[in-house]
Every structure is written in C-alpha cells, then in structure tokens.
Amino acid sequence: MIQEQQTEILLVDDDGGNSELVRRNLQRSGIRNPIVILTNGSEALDYVFREGRYAGRASSHLMILLDINMPGEVDGVEVLRRIKGDPLRQRIPVVMLTTSDDPREVERCYALGCNAYMTKPVEPLAFIEAVNRLGLFITVLTVPAEAAK
C-alpha cells in the first residue's frame, strides 16, 4: 500500500530522556517515520488540533505514544479524552505509556478509548507489534548499520 504521506509518530512524555530513548530505539529498529517529541499535554493538544504555535502545521497522519502521568493541567488522560472526544481525530491511534500495570489506570485508559497501552521502558519490538496489531502501516526499512546515526 502506498501512502502519500508517512504517518508521523508523536512522542508525548514529560520525561524527555524517555522519549529520546524511544526515538533512538525506534530508529535503530528501522522505523523511518518522522518522530516528533513533545514534553507536555497542552503542547500535544496544540499539535494535534493545530492550534497555538502549531496553527500553521500541515495536516498529517498521526500516531501518538502518550505518557499517562504528566505534570501540569493537561495530563495524558486529558489529552486522550480530548482526542477521542473529537469526531475528526478520534481515529488517531493512541498508545498509552504507563510506568505501572496498575489495573485501575489501565482500565481508565481503555474506558477513554485508548488503542493500546505499554509499560515503560518501551521495547521497540513490543511497540512495533502493538502498531501491527492496530493495523497501522509504518515504514520499516532494513538499512545498513552505517545509515543509522
């Protein structure tokens, strides 16, 4: 299947280190999709809804890796609620990231309509598997080792 536009992977986590590790791991696994790292919920909402400093952003296919616990007024759950409550964006796949497998948190995420959840640290293989399960197509290129920075 040929997509005109590559799916953008949005990493939202207040822990930038985690996102950076995820980014590196995904790239090392051969994922060539553009990866955007954001560190708080309201910025993520601006990005998804193309508001604020992202008002002029070109629309794109998105898939979001969203940390459930983030400081500030908009945490991961709120971002999830807003996305799943918007008719135009409710079909954006959202994978929730949690530090625990606390059943209450997991239940809450599924109740709000998240597509999958993963516990940190994110294993690239588990991520790709989750993506496949969601029926998403992500460009995975097998590249020589030198190509990977």
Alpha helices in the chain (DSSP H): 16-28, 41-49, 76-84, 103-111, 124-133
H or E stretch at 133:
helix 124-133
Binding mask of the shown chain, residues 115 to 144, with x at each position contacting other proteins by CB under 8 A: -----xx-----------------------
CB-wise, 42 or 99, nearer to other proteins?
Answer: 99
Among 1, 2, 4, 17, binds other proteins (CB under 8 A): 17
Nearer to other proteins, 60 or 147 (CB): 147
Q: Is residue 89 a contact partner of residue 80, using CB atoms and an 8 Å limit?
A: no
Are the beta carbons of 41 and 10 closer than 8 angstroms? no
Nearer to other proteins, 93 or 105 (CB): 105
Question: What SS3 class is residue 117?
Answer: strand
Contact string (CB under 8 A) for other proteins, positions 71-110, x = contact: ----------------------------xx----------
